[in-house]
Amino acid sequence: MHSKALLAALLAPAVVTAQLHQLAVAAGLKYFGTAVSEGNVNSDSAYRAIVNNKNEIGQLVPENGQKWDATEPSRGSFSYSSGDIVPNIAKANGQLLRCHTLVWHSQLPNWVSSGSWTKATLTSVIQTHISNVMGHYIGQCYAWDVVNEAVADDGSWRSSVFLSTFGTDYFAIAFKAAKAADPNTKLYYNDYNLEYNGAKTDRAVELVKIVQAAGAPIDGVGFQGHLIVGSTPSRGSLATVLRRFTSLNVEVAYTELDIRHSSLPASSSALATQGNDFANVVGSCLDVAGCVGVTVWGFSDKYSWVPSTFSGAGAALLYDSNFNKKAAWTSVSSVLAAKATGGPGVSTTLSTSVVTTTSKPAVITTTSTAATTTTSSASGAQQTHWGQCGGNGWTGPTACQSPWTCQVGNPWYSQCL
């Protein structure tokens, strides 16, 4: 969707700063979204303010609350106290909701994983779980991750109580149960490391074909996108992998994007590389007709699963732990803005001549010191490193603490670099 009217509104001097979801929609995606931590969203007001900013975040997904261990901790006993937290915020704000997840080997209560099942009894357990949980959220979810991470890292089928009971037949059982429970949501297979186009990706392609051959409905494949700075595939390679799935008549999305530094603190060149990696991922989604959106797995380095899982690694998100926008934020906003205003690969000059994109959708380099559209109301205040210092509608500080200078990323965003 390249709505001229929407674009004109974005470029109009009177509007507030264009932000990621707004830019994503202008660039043709359905949403830019994030996972939301149930544990922090009601206790950290700075975190909550960004979650609530629907121009920035147009889609939410509960980080943990809808998983099996939270929703059906003992057989037949359903609880939605944690699961409802994020859907209720999305509803109040008018944001899209992705729902996550139904059949997964992890965060699976012992009564399921250690139970002694026949095919018939475990089928009934899966159907009961899916019909109750999806029934509870009926009509609220743009998409559901029905089966999660069913392929192991080496490309074999992942061991689980589901695989040992059914072989691969549990995929179709789950997707059929999901269709029966909510016929109007998109049903996804979701996994990580599909981005590298290796044995794991081949097996995920096979999974989609198995589900389809069984006459079961599958609408999408989620690329989680848990990636590493400097090892993220190129935009073209990523688009090629996405197309392996869209050619099977399913949509695709990045569902859990984060790009971690292997060691910390990250140097400024590592932060710029991270920005390029983010731009390549988001750019690949823009390049593929069936790629509907991008969801980051959290937005601030203050809260991320990464450091506790990968020792010494982290800083994988778009905002730092003080909620300042990082170089990666600028890169994502730039690649979205480039597409919204004429597409990557085209040399584009925006209305105020403050930004020129080249064929490389990376961090946009500029020479101006401030956007012509910037207004200032915070005289005397100086922004910190990486902080915003200008852009359409920006009313915060326009000066930077030494030695940083205010550099224009795009008409909507200047940053202290």
Catalytic residue among 56, 72, 149, 195: 149
Q: How far is CA 313 from CA 8, 194, 252, in A?
A: 41, 21, 28
Return the structure tokens found at 348: 């584009």
Looking at residues 297 to 336 of the shown chain, list those that interact with ligand 9MR (rule: CB under 6 A): 305
Q: Known catalytic residue: 72?
A: no
Residue 79 binds ligand 9MR, judged by CB under 6 A: no
Based on its alpha-carbon atoms, the radius of gyration of the chain, rounded to whole angstroms, reads 22
Q: Choose between 106 and 231: whose C-beta lies nearer to ligand 9MR.
A: 106
**Which residues, 6 or more positions from 192, have their beta carbon under 8 angstroms from its beta carbon?**
149, 223, 224, 225, 226, 256
Q: What is the DSSP string of 162-183?
A: HHHHHTTHHHHHHHHHHHHH-T
CA angle 83, 300, 279 (to 5 degrees): 110
Helix 235-246 to helix 199-213 angle (10° resolution) is 20
Cβ density class 212-237: b for 16+ within 10 Å, e for less: beeebbbbbbbbbbbbbbeebbebee
Residue 277 binds ligand 9MR, judged by CB under 6 A: no
Q: Choose between 256 and 287: whose C-beta lies nearer to ligand 9MR.
A: 256
Q: In the complex, which residue's CB is closest to ligand 9MR? A: 305
Residue 34 binds ligand 9MR, judged by CB under 6 A: no
Catalytic residue among 38, 63, 195, 256: 256
Which secondary-structure segment (H or E) carries 22? helix 20-26
Q: Choose between 64 and 300: whose C-beta lies nearer to ligand 9MR.
A: 64
Min dist CB 296 to ligand 9MR, Å, is 12
d(CA 236, CA 218): 26
Min dist CB 166 to ligand 9MR, Å, is 21
Residue 82 binds ligand 9MR, judged by CB under 6 A: no
Residue 256 binds ligand 9MR, judged by CB under 6 A: yes
Q: Choose between 64 and 415: whose C-beta lies nearer to ligand 9MR.
A: 64
Q: Choose between 63 and 320: whose C-beta lies nearer to ligand 9MR.
A: 63
Q: Known catalytic residue: 206?
A: no
Min dist CB 145 to ligand 9MR, Å, is 8
Contact 222, 188 (CB under 8 A): yes
Residue 106 binds ligand 9MR, judged by CB under 6 A: yes
Residue 63 binds ligand 9MR, judged by CB under 6 A: yes
Min dist CB 370 to ligand 9MR, Å, is 38
- Which has the closest alpha carbon to 69: 12, 110, 114? 110
Min dist CB 106 to ligand 9MR, Å, is 5
Residue 224 binds ligand 9MR, judged by CB under 6 A: yes
CA neighbours within 13 Å on the CB side: how many for 97?
A: 26
Q: Which residues are catalytic?
A: 149, 256
Q: Which residues in this chain contact ligand 9MR in the complex, by CB under 6 A?
A: 63-64, 106-107, 224, 256, 305
